[in-house]
């Protein structure tokens, strides 16, 4: 259950930040790509930390 709670907390900011990335794409596609890449790295490391015993 702790894993689920940590995962839910880490994904809480996903939809608003992806909305920001979508709006940023209207200004500069590279900015949008940078935001998405940052989110992917954050979640990859967060999931890795949450799965260790």
pLDDT tens digits for the chain (53 residues)?
Answer: 777 777 777 778 888 999 999 999 999 999 999 999 998 998 888 777 666 55
Residue that is written with structure tokens 């900015």 in the block: 31
pTM attached to this predicted model: 0.70
């Amino acid at each position: 259950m702790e894993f689920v709670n940590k995962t839910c907390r880490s994904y809480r900011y996903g939809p608003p930040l992806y909305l920001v990335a979508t709006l940023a794409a209207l200004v500069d596609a590279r900015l949008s790509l940078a935001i998405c890449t940052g989110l992917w790295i954050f979640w990859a490391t967060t999931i890795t930390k949450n799965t260790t015993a």
